[in-house]
């Protein structure tokens, strides 16, 4: 085996070890992708279309004037396409725990001359989101970074309007990859119902729906004899 091959294998092994440590630590601590690695997050994965921004946005069926939450937005890879889809009458809230990521979002929004994007530095579960406000929400390769997933999903559930949809994307290349079954268990506890599924088990987008509120009960009318 050549020296170059040994070097490549060494880096690959180191990457696997770091990924495993990162994944295990995320079960107890919130460990998002560092903002200095934001350039990596901005790239669409060349090995799968499941994580491509336009594909994820296309699944959501966004319409003008909708309000969208991009939770764990990172450098805004999904934020800008969502803002363009809902138009000037719509609104996108880019939410991230790191100011460095939001600074990149603001730069891109300014360069694109968009006026319908707001930024919020906060973590899911902090209780910072408005209730029954959003039509759609995005959670792209973020859920595995959150120790208390049920609380995070519950806050998104409460922030959505009745009938609103949360789009969860997971890709096996992410060190925090979450299997569909795991996502559904947490989502059920948060009050979501399973919706559409796109892709395959190791690279997918799953829609979770907040049930529409039941209408008022009508008084019973007896038909008589």
22 and 40 together in one domain:
no
pLDDT by residue (tens digit) across 130-178?
999 999 999 999 999 999 999 999 999 999 999 999 999 999 988 899 9
Three-state DSSP state, 224: coil
- What residue ranges in 175-219 does DSSP mark as E strands? 193-200, 203-209
21 and 38 together in one domain:
no
6 and 42 together in one domain:
no
Q: Is residue 215 part of a domain?
A: no
The mean-pLDDT minimum among 107-111, 158-162, 171-175, 189-193 falls in 171-175
Cβ atoms 203, 50 nearer than 8 A: yes
CATH number of domain containing 144: 3.40.50.150
Query: How far apart, in whole angstroms, are the C-alpha atoms of residue 194 and residue 200?
Result: 16
36 and 6 together in one domain:
no
Looking at residue 145, the DSSP 8-state letter turns out to be G
Q: What pLDDT shows up at residue 94?
A: 98
Top pLDDT among 198 and 27 is at: 198
Total tally of structural domains belonging to the chain: 2
25 and 40 together in one domain:
no
Record the pTM: 0.77
Q: Is residue 214 part of a domain?
A: no
1 and 92 together in one domain:
no
pLDDT at 186 over 50: yes
Domain extent for 22 = 1-29
Query: How far apart, in whole angstroms, are the C-alpha atoms of residue 137 and residue 89?
Result: 17
Q: Is residue 57 part of a domain?
A: yes
Q: Is residue 223 part of a domain?
A: no
Element (H, E) at 83: helix 79-86
Q: Is residue 80 part of a domain?
A: yes
Query: How far apart, in whole angstroms, are the C-alpha atoms of residue 43 and residue 32?
Result: 17
63 and 6 together in one domain:
no
Q: Is residue 153 part of a domain?
A: yes
Q: Is residue 177 part of a domain?
A: yes
Cβ atoms 38, 74 nearer than 8 A: yes
45 and 25 together in one domain:
no
Best CA proximity match to 79, nearest among 49, 48, 110, 50: 110
Query: How far apart, in whole angstroms, are the C-alpha atoms of residue 53 and residue 211?
Result: 26
6 and 102 together in one domain:
no
Best CA proximity match to 120, nearest among 71, 68, 81, 153: 71
Q: Is residue 15 part of a domain?
A: yes
Residue 222 has which token pair? 């007896």
Q: What pLDDT shows up at residue 48?
A: 57
Looking at the DSSP bridge assignments, the partners of residue 119 are 94
């Amino acid at each position: 085996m050549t020296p170059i091959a040994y070097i490549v294998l060494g880096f690959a092994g180191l990457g696997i070890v770091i990924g495993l440590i990162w994944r295990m630590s995320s079960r107890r601590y919130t460990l998002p992708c560092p903002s200095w690695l934001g350039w990596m997050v901005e790239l669409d994965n060349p090995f799968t279309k499941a994580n491509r921004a336009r594909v994820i946005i296309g699944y959501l069926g966004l319409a003008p004037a909708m309000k969208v939450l991009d939770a764990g937005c990172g450098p805004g890879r999904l934020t800008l396409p969502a803002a363009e889809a809902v138009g000037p009458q719509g609104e996108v809230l880019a939410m991230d725990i790191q100011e460095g990521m939001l600074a990149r979002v603001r730069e891109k929004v300014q360069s694109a001359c968009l006026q319908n994007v707001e930024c919020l530095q906060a973590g899911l579960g902090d209780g910072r989101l408005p209730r029954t406000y959003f039509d759609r929400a995005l959670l792209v390769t973020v859920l595995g970074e959150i120790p208390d997933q049920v609380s995070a999903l519950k806050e998104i559930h409460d922030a959505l309007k009745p009938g609103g949809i949360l789009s969860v994307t997971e890709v096996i290349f992410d060190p925090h990859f979450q299997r569909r079954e795991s996502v559904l268990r947490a989502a059920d506890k948060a009050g979501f119902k399973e919706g559409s599924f796109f892709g395959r088990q190791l690279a997918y987008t799953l829609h979770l729906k907040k049930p529409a509120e039941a209408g008022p009960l009508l008084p019973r009318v007896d038909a008589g004899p």
